[in-house]
Amino acid sequence: MQTTAKNILIATGNEGKLIEFKDLLSDSPFVVHSLKEFPNVEEVAETGETFAENAAIKARAYAKQTKVLTIADDSGLEVVALGNAPGVFSARYGGEGLKNEQRIEKLLSELEKTNDLHRKARFVCVVAIANSDGEILFRANGACEGTIAVKPRGYNGFGYDSIFIPNGFNETFGELSPQIKRKISHRALAMREIQMFFNNYLRETT
């Protein structure tokens, strides 16, 4: 692979995230690459205490290993009544090895114990971009406010999408079409800032 300015690595092993990122970058001039194309790359542990720290850790480490411009994110669900849990532990909520359905079941069970009537929550995403030397070039944040459904609904998306109802809608992310989610999701909002950065970046590097 030629490591030109127009190559970009999406540093995630989450197939759902990879699909969303590829979709969000579909109109860009970048040739998008995944971690599967770099089988010898060592997995990077998310040791940060915030979404921003984890996004930067992954972007730096994978960029240094692959010598490719790298975009990485950390994202998760914050439920107000649970003290903003699961937060950065969204992918590991309830312990390692649980299936997604089990994590959702645990979250709904914990939320019921609080007797919270509002069920307010938000999806948060922080995206970081690093150059081939591991220097962070840009960060962007996105948040989507909403509420938690009483039970899972819909089969679109991944993670906690089936129980998150974005404000202004009656459907969960799991019920909404990918086209609508692409406009309103936390990742889409962060990517709007990223796309503005890319416009300047490409002018400077080509």
Residue with tokens 């540093």: 11
Supply the DSSP string of 140-182, one letter for each residue: EEEEEEEEE-SS----SSSTTGGGEEETT-SS-TTTS-HHHHH
Which residues are within 8 A (CB) of 52 and not within 5 positions of it... i.e. 6 or more apart?
A: 74, 126, 128, 139, 141
Cβ atoms of residues 51 and 60 within 8 Å:
no
Start-to-end Cα distance in the chain: 18
Bridge partners of 121, per DSSP, are: 79, 146
Q: What is the C-alpha to C-alpha distance for residues 91 and 68, in angstroms, rounded to an integer?
A: 26
Bridge partners of 146, per DSSP, are: 121, 166
Q: Which of 23, 27, 73, 74 is catalytic?
A: 74
User: Is 74 among the catalytic positions?
Assistant: yes
Cβ atoms of residues 194 and 129 within 8 Å:
yes
Catalytic residue numbers, as ranges: 74
